Structure 1
Amino acid sequence: MAGCKPAESPLAEREKERECGAGVSRNGGLKRADARAALPFAALLLRSLRIGCMCCCRAVDAAAEFISPASGLYHCPPLLLNHSPESLGLSKKDCIGRYYAKDAKYRPFSALLPEGSSGKMLYVKLVLVLLMCGSFMGLLHSPSIQPADEQHRTQSEASKASWMSHPDAPNSGYASSLKIDWSQIETAVKQVSPAEDGGAPRVALLNFDDSEVEEWRARLPHTEASTVRLDPVGSNVTWEHLYPEWIDEEELYGAPSCPDLPEPAVAEAEAYDVVAVKLPCGRAASWSKDVARLHLQLAAARVAARHGRRRAHVLAVSRCFPAPNLFKCRDEVARDGDVWLYRPDAEELDRKLALPVGSCELAMPFKALGDPYVSAAPHREAYATILHSEQLYACGALTAAQSIRMAGSGRDMVALVDETIGSRHRGALEAAGWKVRAIRRIRNPRASRDAYNEWNYSKFWLWTLTEYERVIFLDADLLVQRPMEPLFAMPEVSATGNNGTYFNSGVMVVEPCECTFRLLAGHVGDIESYNGGDQGYLNEVFSWWHRLPSHANYMKHFWEGDTAERAAARRRVLAADPPVALAVHFVGLKPWFCFRDYDCNWNVPALRQFASDEAHARWWKVHDAMPPRLRGFCLLDERQKALLRWDAARAREANASDGHWGVRIADPRRSMCAGDGEACREREIAGRRVEGDRITTSYAKLIDNF
Structure 2
Amino acid sequence: MASMFSKWKHLTFPLLMLSTALLFLFTNYLFFTINYTRHLQDEFQNMTTYLNSLRDPEWFDVVSGEIMRDQKIKIGQTNMDRIRGELHTRARKNMTAYLRSTRNPKWFEVVAREFKDETINIGLVNIDEEIMDGLHANAKMVKVHFNPVGEDIRWSDLAPERIDENSKCPNIPMPIFKDYEQLDVVVARVPQSKCEDGGSRNVLRLQVNLVVANLLVRSARKNNRAVFAVFVESCDPMWEIFRCDDLLWNTGNSWVYKPELTRINQILLMPIGPCQFLPPFSHHGEEAWTKLRHIARQTNHHLQQPREAYITILHTSEDYVCGAIVLAQSIIQSNSTKDLILLADDNISPESIVGLRAAGWKTKRIRRIRSPYSRKHSYNEWNYSKLRIWQLKQLYDKLIFIDADLLVNRNLDEFFAYPQLTAAGNYQKHLFNSGLMLVEPSQCTFDVLIKKMRVVESYNGGDQGFLNEMFAWWHRLPAQLNYLKVFVDPNDHLHWINKEVYAVHYTGLKPWKCFKQLDCNWDVERFHRYASSSAHRMWWRVYRAMPEKLRPYCSQGGGHGSKNSANFSTAKGHPVVSIKGT
Shorter chain as denominator, the TM-score bin is 0.7 to 0.9
* Code of the aligned partner of 2:522: W
Cα pair 1:491 1:511 within 8 Å, conserved:
yes
- Superposed displacement of residue 597, structure 1: 2.6
Structure 1 or 2, whichever has the larger Rg, is 1
**C-alpha spacing 1:182/1:402, structure 2 compared with 1 (3 Å):** farther
* Contact in 2 for aligned 1:452/1:696 (Cα 8 Å): no
Q: Choose the corresponding residue for 1:340, options 241, 249, 255.
A: 255
Correspondence 1:409 to 2:336: yes
Matched, 1:598 2:518: yes
Q: Is this contact kept in 1: 2:103–2:136, CA < 8 A?
A: no
Is the aligned partner of 1:630 residue 2:550? yes
Counterpart code for 2:106 = T
Please state how far the C-alpha of 1:219 moved relative to its aligned partner.
Answer: 5.5
Alignment map for 1:383-402 (pairs within 5 Å): 383-402=310-329
Asked if residue 461 in structure 1 is aligned to residue 388 in structure 2, the reply is: yes
The amino acid that maps onto 1:231 is: N
**Larger RCO (CA within 8 A; separation ≥ 6):** 2
Name the residue aligned to 1:301.
213
Q: In the TM superposition, what whole-angstrom CA distance separates every residue of 1:412-465 from its partner, at most 9, and x where no partner exists? A: 100011121111111111111100011111222222332222221111111222
Residue 111 of structure 2: aligned partner: 192
In the alignment, which residue of structure 2 is the partner of 1:279? 190
Once the two structures are superposed, residues 127-157 of structure 1 have per-residue CA deviations (whole angstroms, 9 ceiling, x without a partner) of: 49999xx9xxxxxxxxxxxxxxxxxxxxxxx
Counterpart check, 1:519 vs 2:448 = yes
1:95-149 superposed Cα distances (whole Å, 9 cap, x missing partner): 334xxxxxxxxxxxxxxxxxxxxxxxx84xx749999xx9xxxxxxxxxxxxxxx
Partner of 2:483: 554
Partners in 1 of 2:139 and 2:469 — Cα distance?
A: 36
Change over 3 Å in CA distance of 1:245–1:406 after alignment to 2: same
2:145 paired residue among 229, 247, 253:
229
The C-alpha deviation readout for 1:181-221, integer Å capped at 9, x for no partner, is 9999933322213686944423223233x5xx434322555
The equivalent of 1:587 in structure 2 is 507
Distance, in Å, in 1 between the alignment partners of 2:255 and 2:576 is: 40
C-alpha spacing 1:402/1:347, structure 2 compared with 1 (3 Å):
closer
Deviations 1:233-265 (A, max 9, x none): 12111111111121122xxxxx22111111135
Aligned to 1:482: 410
Q: Structure 1 length normalisation: TM-score?
A: 0.62
What is the aligned partner in structure 2 of residue 289 from structure 1?
Answer: 201
| 1:240 corresponds to which of 156, 176, 188 | 156
Aligned residue type for 1:214: E
Matches within 5 A, 1:433-582: 433-466=360-393, 467-498=395-426, 499-560=428-489, 564=492, 571=496, 574=497, 576=498, 579-582=499-502
Alignment of 1:364-383 (within 5 A): 364-366=279-281, 376=301, 377=303, 378-383=305-310
Distance 1:285 1:539, change over 3 A: farther
Give the counterpart letter for 1:602 in structure 2: W
2: CA distance, partners of 1:612 / 1:28: 85
In the other structure, the counterpart of 1:81 is none
Instruction: Indicate if the aligned counterparts of 2:509 and 2:570 stay in contact, CA closer than 8 A.
Output: no
CA distance 1:183–1:581, change in 2 (3 Å): farther
Residue pair 1:495, 1:503 contacting (<8 A) in 2 also: yes
**Structure 1 residues 553 and 277: alpha-carbon distance in aligned structure 2, compared to 1, 3 A threshold:** same
Aligned with residue 169 of structure 2, among 258, 267, 272: 258
- Superposed CA deviations along residues 471-503 of structure 1, whole A, max 9, x for unmatched, are 111110111111111111111111111132211
Secondary structure of the corresponding residue to residue 425 of structure 1: helix
Q: Which residue of 1 aligns with 2:97?
A: none
Q: How many residues align?
A: 486
Give the secondary structure class of the aligned counterpart of 2:105.
helix
Whether the 8 Å contact between 1:323 and 1:541 is mirrored in structure 2 is no
- 1:102 maps to none
Whether contact under 8 Å (1:601, 1:607) holds in the other structure is yes
CA distance in 1, matches of 2:103, 2:487: 53
**Aligned position for 1:30:** 59
Structure 2 counterpart SS, 1:446: coil
Gaps of 5+ in 2: 1-55, 84-99, 578-582
Q: C-alpha separation between the residues in 1 aligned to 2:114 and 2:226?
A: 11
Q: Structure 1 residues 274 and 428 mapped into 2: Cα distance closer, same or farther (>3 Å)?
A: same
Structure 1 pair 246/431, CA: closer, same or farther in 2 (3 Å)? same
Alpha-carbon separation, structure 2, partners of 1:185 and 1:393: 58
Rounded to whole Å, the distance in 2 between the matches of 1:632 and 1:314 is 56
| Match among 109, 129, 132 for residue 216 of structure 1 | 132
SS in 1 for 2:437: strand
Q: Distance in 1 between matches of 2:517 and 2:360?
A: 28
Distance 2:571 2:373 in 1: 19
**In the TM superposition, what whole-angstrom CA distance separates every residue of 1:157-185 from its partner, at most 9, and x where no partner exists?**
xxxxxxxxxxxxxxxxxxxxxxxx99999
**Other-structure match for 1:419:** 346
> For the structure 1 residues 216 and 545, does the alpha-carbon distance in structure 2 shift closer, same or farther, using more than 3 Å as the test?
same
Match of 1:699 in 2: 574
- Give the equivalent residue in structure 2 for 1:153: none
CA distance 1:521–1:491, change in 2 (3 Å): same
SS in structure 2 opposite 1:517?
A: helix
CA–CA distance in 2 between the matches of 1:286 and 1:269?
32
Question: Within 2, Cα distance between the matches of 1:280 and 1:272?
Answer: 23
Give distance in 2, aligned partners of 1:259 and 1:342: 28
What are the equivalent positions in structure 2 for 1:600-615 lying under 5 Å apart? 600-615=520-535
Cα distance change of structure 1 residues 238 and 355 upon mapping to structure 2, 3 Å threshold: same
Preserved contact between residue 555 and residue 561 of structure 2 (Cα < 8 Å): no
8 Å CA contact retained: 1:307, 1:346: no
Question: Deviation of residue 518 (structure 1)?
Answer: 1.6
| Pairing partner for 1:96 from 71, 74, 90 | 71
Q: Is the 8 A contact 2:313 2:342 kept in 1?
A: yes
- In structure 1, what is the Cα distance between the partners aligned to 2:312 and 2:101? 45
Q: Give the direction of change, closer, same or farther, for the CA distance of 1:182–1:591 in structure 2 (3 Å limit).
A: farther
**1:341-367 deviations in whole A, cap 9, x for unaligned?**
111133432332122101122222128
Amino acid at match of 2:348: I
- The secondary structure found in structure 1 opposite 2:435 is strand
Query: Residue 670 of structure 1 aligns to a residue in which SS?
Result: coil
Give the 3-state SS of the residue equivalent to 1:366 in structure 2. coil
Contact 1:264–1:303 (Cα < 8 Å) also in 2: no
Q: Equivalent residue for 1:324?
A: 239
Computed over aligned residues only, the root mean square deviation of the Cα atoms, in angstroms, reads 3.9
